[in-house]
């Protein structure tokens, strides 16, 4: 086994400080923040977590439910609406404008058209969506019908994100995906007919059974669809995936390609899309240059914006405090039905932690604006983290230009592997989740 093997463990860095540092005893900090005077000019985002799926993918590390019936789903959706109402009553929410909403999961497109209509109508009663500039909705292709896509357009979805992952049916099946490629093509055509302002597709490099030839074929098929943006992840194996558990229990070697191979595959895909006029929007995303493509959700998140996560185990960031909801669906619903915000753990960030969080998240875009950090935190981040930056510079992973730090292509391919070097020393070796 080499250090390049894809072993069980977390690789992706999505937040800071590590989730293991968020604690139940800090929940009062979150409640205190929600009781502050409203910052009326600051935009607000909502994340809505829909934890249901048709089938569990073998690489999935989320807690998802594949056995809930319509009435259980409706009880959950009522809890989401009620949670939104509880937030709308807090002092800090008064007069706040909703700038974006993001439906993630799980599989948001698993819920029916009637349930969707009711959910959005219920949410709108307490926090108006009228001015939202971006509403993203994640879909599993096999759950879509043309009428459901029309419903999504009617409720205000501006950005449809299709979890295609791969075009090869044998790979989709081997990895436990619920859909096959025929459903992808059908769903994509309907989505274009319904005419969403932005359609994103997701791919994963390094699924079980992946080969050079199959990956190249998938990239070619993805290009043929001409999506507005494409997001490509490198397969990782957090502890609780089916693949990881099989490896641990049965003592199997990793069935996933090693990291250099996955990086080479992502590099190939980026190169192919760039040759066709796409621009690099982040370490994972390319966007068409044929029309304006914005990413308000990630921009807000990576610049320290406020976002409330509704739903079981959802994450929020509000006024410099992280918090997360209860992670068992019955506990979550029970708390809400008793008129209580379902908060499970929290952490108030220090000024230094806010700086590190924004810095590592913005490094994922490939460019740091030094003036932005000087203005917001009064710090030259290169000087503040000189040993780390100089080392990454020497390895050709990034370079300093006059007013910015630019991450190289190789740096973007490895970005999640080096971000932890910017963590505070005492948090470098703690569990991440």
Long-range contacts of 127-131 (CB under 8 A, 24+ apart): 127/46, 127/84, 127/87, 127/88, 127/93, 127/98, 128/98, 129/98, 129/101, 129/156, 131/97, 131/98, 131/99
DSSP letter for 423, please. Answer: S
Cβ proximity to ligand SF4, 145 vs 428, nearer residue: 145
Cβ proximity to ligand SF4, 72 vs 267, nearer residue: 72
C-beta of 175: minimal distance to ligand SF4 in Å? 9
249 burial class (0-12, 13-18, 19+ CB within 10 angstroms)?
A: exposed
H helices present in 155-258, as ranges:
169-174, 181-194, 212-225, 242-250
Cβ proximity to ligand SF4, 18 vs 106, nearer residue: 106
C-alpha 361/C-alpha 365 separation (Å) is: 8
Cβ proximity to ligand SF4, 284 vs 422, nearer residue: 284
Binding site for ligand SF4 (CB under 6 A): 53, 56-57, 60, 62, 64, 105-107, 140
Asked whether 208 and 58 are in contact (CB, 8 A), the reply is: yes
Cβ proximity to ligand SF4, 69 vs 338, nearer residue: 69
Angle at 242 between CA 238 and CA 246, to 5 degrees: 100
Q: Which of 353, 324, 351, 206 is nearest to 265 (CA)?
A: 206
Cβ proximity to ligand SF4, 33 vs 165, nearer residue: 165
Cβ proximity to ligand SF4, 56 vs 348, nearer residue: 56
The residue with its CB nearest to ligand SF4 is 60
Tokens matching residue 382 = 């290169």
H helices present in 89-112, as ranges:
none
Paired with 231 in beta bridges are 202, 285
Q: Which of 347, 382, 385, 369 is nearest to 15 (CA)?
A: 347
Cβ proximity to ligand SF4, 234 vs 288, nearer residue: 234
Asked whether 318 and 92 are in contact (CB, 8 A), the reply is: yes
C-alpha 119/C-alpha 139 separation (Å) is: 17
C-alpha 163/C-alpha 201 separation (Å) is: 6
Cβ proximity to ligand SF4, 18 vs 51, nearer residue: 51
Torsion (CA) 401, 403, 404, 405 in degrees, nearest 10: 50
C-beta of 61: minimal distance to ligand SF4 in Å? 8
């Amino acid at each position: 086994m080499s250090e390049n093997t894809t072993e069980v463990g977390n690789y992706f860095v999505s937040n800071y400080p590590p989730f293991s540092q968020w604690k139940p005893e800090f929940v009062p900090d979150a409640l205190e923040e929600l009781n502050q005077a409203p910052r009326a000019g600051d935009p607000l985002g909502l994340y809505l977590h829909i934890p249901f799926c048709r089938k569990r993918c073998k690489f999935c590390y989320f807690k998802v439910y594949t056995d809930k019936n319509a009435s259980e789903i409706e009880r959950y959706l009522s809890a989401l609406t009620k949670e939104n109402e509880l937030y709308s009553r807090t002092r800090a929410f008064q007069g706040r404008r909703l700038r974006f909403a993001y439906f993630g999961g799980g599989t948001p497109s698993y819920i029916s058209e009637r349930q969707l209509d009711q959910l959005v109508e219920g949410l709108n009663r307490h926090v108006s969506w009228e001015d939202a500039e971006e509403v993203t909705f994640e879909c599993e292709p096999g759950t879509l019908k043309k009428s459901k896509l029309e419903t999504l357009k009617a409720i205000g979805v501006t950005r449809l994100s299709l979890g295609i992952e791969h075009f090869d049916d044998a790979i989709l099946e081997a990895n436990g995906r619920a859909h096959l490629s025929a459903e992808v093509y059908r769903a994509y055509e309907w989505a274009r007919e319904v005419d969403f302002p932005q359609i994103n597709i997701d791919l994963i490099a390094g699924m079980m059974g992946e080969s050079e030839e199959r990956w190249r074929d998938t990239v070619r098929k993805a290009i043929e669809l001409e999506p507005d943006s494409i997001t490509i992840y490198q397969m990782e194996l957090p502890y609780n995936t089916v693949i990881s558990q099989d490896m641990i229990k049965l003592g199997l070697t990793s069935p996933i390609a090693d990291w250099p191979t996955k990086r080479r595959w992502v590099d190939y895909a980026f190169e192919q899309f760039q040759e066709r006029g796409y621009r690099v929007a982040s370490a994972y995303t390319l966007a068409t240059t044929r029309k304006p493509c914005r990413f308000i959700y990630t921009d807000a998140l990576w610049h320290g914006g406020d976002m409330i996560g509704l739903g079981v185990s959802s994450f929020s960031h509000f006024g410099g405090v992280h918090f997360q909801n209860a992670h068992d669906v019955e506990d979550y619903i029970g708390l809400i039905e008793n008129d209580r915000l379902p908060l499970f753990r929290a952490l108030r960030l220090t000024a230094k932690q806010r700086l590190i969080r924004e810095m590592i998240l913005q490094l994922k875009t490939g460019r740091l604006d030094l003036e932005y950090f000087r203005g917001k935190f009064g710090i030259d981040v290169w000087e503040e983290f000189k040993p780390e930056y100089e080392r990454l510079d020497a390895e050709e992973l990034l370079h300093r230009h006059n007013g910015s730090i630019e991450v190289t292509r190789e740096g973007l391919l490895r970005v999640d592997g080096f971000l932890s070097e910017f963590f505070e020393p005492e948090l470098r070796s703690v569990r991440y989740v």
